[in-house]
Structure 1
Amino acid sequence: MRNMIFMAGITIALLLGGCGTEGTDRATDTSSVKQDSWRVIKTVGGRDIIAELKQSVEESSQRDLIAQEQLTSTDYTEGYFGNPSKELEEDMAVQAIEGPVAINAVEEVYGADGGLDKEGVLFFENQQDGAAQSGIWIGLKDPDSRLQQVLDILQQKVDAGEILAEPIYIFRSPHTQHELYVQQDKVAKAVDELFDGRGSYSVSVDTISGEISIGHDFLKTEQQQKLEKQFPDYALNFNQEGSMVAEPGQSSVIKPKKFGTETPVEEGGFVLETSNGSFLVAGGTEGAVSYSFPEADQLTVGQRVKVEATGALAESYPAQGTAKFVEILPDYRPAGAMLSESQVVEKAIQENANDFIVIEKVSYEPVRSVWTLILNDERVLEIEDR
């Protein structure tokens, strides 16, 4: 199954930090500002800063009040974003205060719905993720007078004590979001030409670094090298996701060395149904999933299996996906028992044909010669060992 995920690189992090730079003034007459007047002021985090806001007021009581409110939220107190810390406090404050104001200013000047995409990028960085400095970053490839309009809007907010100047960074970006999207699409098309229907892949671009990540489970070394030669100016990062798909002619069914065992097996889920090219598994340590699998005819109802999927699972119940490998686990048959675990599970499925049962645990009671099956809804089924 092909799994193409083109992740928009303009990802806004949940936690965004705020510490920063010293501000300087610029003229407010936008007509006098030309593209080549935006010179590099300094470098922060390896990026060329071309404009700054001035922290014109000493107290920002309105901003402080909102920042304190973040510390009483359950997201902070219950550690949803991580352990409470000074860094996390700053991250959450910038997310709630400077972030929305800066985004609104950019959209007012450049237009909403991706108006900045052809001019530059916008992203957040936070200390919780390891950034040396936190804040919201506005990057422009070829800045013009519109940047001054953004600065004027934001400076008014700083002067009013609504936001701080420090967490807002304005820099010269080497690329625009639109350019990154184009690069991403070109790489995705090239990967798709190498895709033969076995396995899956995803292509995403990082707005901050411009790196294009290719997640896959089928690209061989020579194919990766071919892509690198095809796109010498792109930063490609290959991530193998799980095992590589089986080679042509190689089975994707992993059989046990011994099909039977007297030791209870705890791993895997139970095959509840098989059909031409698909099977349904649920219970045990596996979720309820209907898998597409060309070798489903090699599986039998009741077997305990472990499944390695390829690509994403469709959110339904049962979920739907594609199996890359299916490992058949040894069939548990206690000493002295007439039936094996797989036979018991098959029998339980047959006896409950009108009911979708999910078996969480199977155990055998030798004194009564009875198998006990515990379902996920806490029901208990008993099957006589005969």
Structure 2
Amino acid sequence: MKRTLLATALGVALIVSGCGTGAGGTTGTDVGEEDGWKTIKTISGREIIAELKQTVKESPEREKLAAEQVDSEDYKGGLFGDPSPELAEDMAVQAIEGPIALEALGKVYGENGFSEEGVIFFENQRNGAEQSGIWFGVKNPDERLNELLAELQPKVDVGEILAAPIYIFRSAHTEKELNDIQDEVAVALKGMHAKRGSYSLSVDVKSGEIELNHDFLKAEQQKELEEKFPDYTFHFEQDGRLVAEPGDSSIIHPENTFTDIPVNDGGFILSVEAGRIFVAGGNESAIYYSFEEAEKLKVGQRVKVEASGMIMESYPGQGTAKYVEILPDYKPVGAELSESQAFVKAMEKFTAESSGEMDFMVVKEVSFDEKEVKWIFTLDEDRKVEIEDK
């Protein structure tokens, strides 16, 4: 599996607090906030309320570790993207400042103490950030923030880490608040999809905005969510077509049942059972689909499936069909059988001759030999199943 740099948002929130001065670090006590932590400056639109001091000009230990990142096969081989100074610094921050800063947080606040106080995330230049860094967002800072500075500043002083990539800012929210609102929105959504459709829901740890990808929400339902959660901004993204209305069919029939022109789209239905179809071959992956109208379909039909939600990465895969489009059944001029009828016969022959190495027939290509008057189904590894047209 391809590795990636650490995700922009970490699955932890931050319990950081503090006021006063701290172990050589700079605290924002000069300008005025009620809690005593003032804004020192603004970076990337965020109010910095405390920072470490870069007390040494050279950091040989840090430079050595950073050089090891550039010499790594991950960097040279382009595992995270084309080699560049920006990528080199992203990797260095995540390998050096990141682990040390997280360890210090755990020491000061405890492993599970972050979520009620703030958020924490990385930003990478390779993803468009102005700087590589690890960001600690604190909603209600208190004296513990000085303890964090006291843990980290000595490591800057001896050249183990740099001060610049560690950012401490005032956050408008905590991770617990984001998790709670995500759960509340999920509950509201359950009453809206009427057992049809799917969604993915997340809350941006930086902005607190709600990202909602769906295939069932109407405009009035989106407005209802926005009115129910007025303190949050929603970003709705529709995934393909909306699911069919209750009572409407999710099967799309062709204008003409038959065609004398070969059809190359879609895949074949290999099995039909209550609430489920199995589709494989052609240009469709081998997938078992849950589908309420499964029993209205037939084995051998060539179909195109629009899925709702994720497909499980097993083999065959597993998912839910939102729409099943039946394609015209190819029947050459003068042929006795149509493609779907010949396919059923080919499946029967394949099953009878199968050695057990393959459990199902995956058709790559179908052709009709007019001279021999037979159907030819080409499978994986160019194996062929031939069926007389009768």
TM-score normalised per structure 2: 0.86
Secondary structure in structure 1 of the residue aligned to 2:191: helix
| 1:371 aligned to which of 371, 375, 379 | 375
Structure-to-structure mapping, 1:265-344, within 5 angstroms? 265-344=263-342
Runs of 4+ deviating beyond 4 Å? 32-35
Task: Write the distance in 2 (CA, Å) between the matches of 1:300 and 1:326.
Answer: 12
| 2:384 aligned to which of 363, 367, 380 | 380
Distance apart, 1:274 and its partner CA: 0.4
Report the counterpart of residue 186 of structure 1 in structure 2.
184
Report the counterpart of residue 240 of structure 2 in structure 1.
242
**1:68 aligned onto 2:72:** no
Preserved contact between residue 14 and residue 95 of structure 1 (Cα < 8 Å) = no
Report the counterpart of residue 22 of structure 2 in structure 1.
27
Report the counterpart of residue 51 of structure 1 in structure 2.
50
Task: Write the distance in 2 (CA, Å) between the matches of 1:145 and 1:67.
Answer: 32
Task: Write the distance in 1 (CA, Å) between the matches of 2:149 and 2:250.
Answer: 59
Provide structure 1 residue ranges, at least 5 long, that are not aligned to the other structure: 1-10, 16-24
Distance apart, 1:256 and its partner CA: 1.3
Preserved contact between residue 91 and residue 126 of structure 1 (Cα < 8 Å) = yes
Task: Write the distance in 2 (CA, Å) between the matches of 1:314 and 1:278.
Answer: 15
Report the counterpart of residue 18 of structure 1 in structure 2.
none
- In structure 2, give the amino acid aligned to 1:369: V
Provide structure 2 residue ranges, at least 5 long, that are not aligned to the other structure: 1-5, 11-19
Preserved contact between residue 9 and residue 120 of structure 2 (Cα < 8 Å) = no
Task: Write the distance in 2 (CA, Å) between the matches of 1:367 and 1:82.
Answer: 54
Secondary structure in structure 1 of the residue aligned to 2:150: helix
Report the counterpart of residue 17 of structure 2 in structure 1.
none
Structure-2 change in CA distance of 1:190 and 1:229 (3 Å): same
Deviates more, 1:69-78 or 1:136-145: 69-78
Task: Write the distance in 2 (CA, Å) between the matches of 1:33 and 1:222.
Answer: 45
1:129-180 deviation per Cα after TM superposition (whole angstroms, max 9, x unaligned)? 2222231100111111211121122222222222211111111111110111
Task: Write the distance in 1 (CA, Å) between the matches of 2:155 and 2:322.
Answer: 54
Task: Write the distance in 2 (CA, Å) between the matches of 1:330 and 1:84.
Answer: 50
Distance apart, 1:123 and its partner CA: 0.5
Task: Write the distance in 2 (CA, Å) between the matches of 1:276 and 1:207.
Answer: 42
| 1:171 aligned to which of 166, 169, 172 | 169
Report the counterpart of residue 85 of structure 1 in structure 2.
84
- In structure 2, give the amino acid aligned to 1:298: K
| 2:362 aligned to which of 335, 358, 361 | 358
Greater RCO, 1 or 2 (C-alpha within 8 Å, sep 6+): 1
- In structure 1, give the amino acid aligned to 2:60: S
Task: Write the distance in 1 (CA, Å) between the matches of 2:161 and 2:171.
Answer: 24
Secondary structure in structure 1 of the residue aligned to 2:310: strand
Preserved contact between residue 28 and residue 152 of structure 1 (Cα < 8 Å) = yes
Distance apart, 1:33 and its partner CA: 11
Aligned length: 365
Distance apart, 1:281 and its partner CA: 0.4
1:35-72 deviation per Cα after TM superposition (whole angstroms, max 9, x unaligned)? 93322110001111011111222222222222222234
Percent identical residues: 56
Distance apart, 1:219 and its partner CA: 1.2
1:253-309 deviation per Cα after TM superposition (whole angstroms, max 9, x unaligned)? 111122222332222111000012211101121111111111112211111111111
Secondary structure in structure 2 of the residue aligned to 1:175: coil
Preserved contact between residue 24 and residue 153 of structure 2 (Cα < 8 Å) = no
| 1:146 aligned to which of 144, 147, 151 | 144
Report the counterpart of residue 16 of structure 2 in structure 1.
none
Preserved contact between residue 55 and residue 159 of structure 1 (Cα < 8 Å) = yes
Task: Write the distance in 2 (CA, Å) between the matches of 1:48 and 1:243.
Answer: 41
**1:263 aligned onto 2:261:** yes
Structure-2 change in CA distance of 1:345 and 1:70 (3 Å): farther
Task: Write the distance in 1 (CA, Å) between the matches of 2:374 and 2:84.
Answer: 55
Distance apart, 1:26 and its partner CA: 4.4
Report the counterpart of residue 3 of structure 2 in structure 1.
none
- In structure 2, give the amino acid aligned to 1:363: S
- In structure 2, give the amino acid aligned to 1:301: V
Secondary structure in structure 2 of the residue aligned to 1:208: coil
| 2:229 aligned to which of 228, 231, 235 | 231
Deviates more, 1:212-221 or 1:167-176: 212-221
